[in-house]
Amino acid sequence: MSKVERPELADEPESVLFAGPGEMRARCRAFDWASTPLGAVARWPQSLRTAVSLVLASGFPSVLHVGPEATFVYNDAWAELLDSAHRDALGHSSLETFAESRGAFEPYLRRALAGETVEPSEVTFPIAREDGSGGAVGTRWFTVSYAPLRDERGLVSGVVVTAVETTAARRATAALIEGETRLRLAVDVAELGTWEWDLVTGRGQIDQRGARIVGLAPGPLDDVMRAQLECIHPDDVGPLQARIAACIERGGAFDLEYRVIYPDRSVHHVASQARVLTDSAGTPVKLVGTNRDITTERVASAEREQLLTASEMERAAADLARRRLETVLEHLPVGVTLAEAPSGRLLVSNSAVRRIWGLDTPAARVADYNTLYVGFRPGTERQYANDEWPLARALTHGEIVTDEVIDIVRPDGTRRRLSISAAPVRDARGGTLGGVVLSIDVTERERLLAETEAARGAAEAARAEAEAASRAKSEFLAVMSHELRTPLNAIGGYAELMEMGIRGPVTVQQQEDLARIQTSQRHLLGLINEVLNYTKLETGMVRYAMSDVRARDAVAEAEGLIVPQARARGLGLAIVPCADTILVRADPEKLRQVLVNLLSNAVKFTDAGGRVEVLCESRDDVVRIHVSDTGIGIPPDRCEAIFEPFVQVRSDLTRTAEGTGLGLAISRDLARGMGGELTVESTLASGSTFTLTLARGGAG
Ligand code: ADP
**Residue 111 CA to ligand 1 centre (angstroms):** 171
**Residue 697 CA to ligand 1 centre (angstroms):** 29
Q: Residue 619 pairs with which residues in a beta bridge?
A: 622
614 phi and psi angles, rounded to 5 deg: -125, 135
- Span 194-223, pLDDT tens digits: 888 888 888 888 888 888 888 877 666 666
Query: Cβ(13) to ligand 1 under 6 A?
Result: no
Question: Which atom of ligand 1 has the smallest separation from the CA of 666?
Answer: 6
Q: How far is CA 45 from the centre of its chain?
A: 109
pLDDT of residue 194: 87
Question: Which atom of ligand 1 has the smallest separation from the CA of 658?
Answer: 3
State how far the Cα of 335 lies from the Cα of 357, in Å rounded to an integer: 9
pLDDT of residue 580: 86
- Protein residue whose Cα sits closest to atom 18 of ligand 1: 601
Give the DSSP H or E segment for 694: strand 687-695
Q: Residue 232 pairs with which residues in a beta bridge?
A: 260
Choose the residue to mutate in 594, 632, 642, 682 for probing ligand 1, maximizing ligand atoms within 8 Å of C-beta: 642
CB distance 643 to 678 below 8 Å: yes
96 phi and psi angles, rounded to 5 deg: -85, -45
CB distance 684 to 635 below 8 Å: yes
CB distance 113 to 159 below 8 Å: yes
What's the Cα-to-Cα distance from 539 to each of 469, 470, 479, 667, 669, rounded to whole Å? 12, 9, 12, 15, 12
DSSP calls for 257-318: EEEEE-TTS-EEEEEEEEEEEE-TTS-EEEEEEEEEE-HHHHHHHHHHHHHHHHHHHHHHHH
Q: What is the 3-state secondary structure (H, E, C) of 188-206?
A: HHCCEEEEEEECCCCCEEE
Judged by DSSP in three states, 332 sits in coil
Q: How many CB atoms lie within 10 A of CB 555?
A: 24
Going by the DSSP 8-state scheme, the letter that residue 496 receives in this structure is: H
Peptide bond into 120 cis (omega under 30): no
State how far the Cα of 606 lies from the Cα of 573, in Å rounded to an integer: 11
52 burial level (CB within 10 Å; 0-12, 13-18, 19+):
buried
pLDDT of residue 488: 86
pLDDT of residue 683: 94
State how far the Cα of 416 lies from the Cα of 358, in Å rounded to an integer: 9
- Residue at 19: amino acid letter: A
Q: Is the dihedral of CA 212, 216, 217, 223 positive or negative?
A: negative
- Protein residue whose Cα sits closest to atom 4 of ligand 1: 661
Q: Residue 695 pairs with which residues in a beta bridge?
A: 622
Alpha helices per DSSP H over 75-166 = 76-79, 94-97, 102-113
State how far the Cα of 237 lies from the Cα of 2, in Å rounded to an integer: 101
Query: Cβ(610) to ligand 1 under 6 A?
Result: no
Ranges of residues in the chain whose predicted pLDDT is under 70: 1-13, 126-136, 218-226, 228, 344, 360-375, 651-658, 699-700
The whole model's pTM is what? Answer: 0.38
CB neighbour burial string for 405-419, b if at least 16 within 10 angstroms, e if fewer: bbbbbbeeeeebbbb
**Residue 176 CA to ligand 1 centre (angstroms):** 139
Residues 6+ apart with CB under 8 A from 286: 196, 197, 198, 199, 276, 277
State how far the Cα of 184 lies from the Cα of 205, in Å rounded to an integer: 17
State how far the Cα of 490 lies from the Cα of 494, in Å rounded to an integer: 6
Q: How many CB atoms lie within 10 A of CB 105?
A: 20
Q: Pick from 523, 525, 515, 516: which is nearest to 490 by CA?
A: 525
pLDDT of residue 134: 61
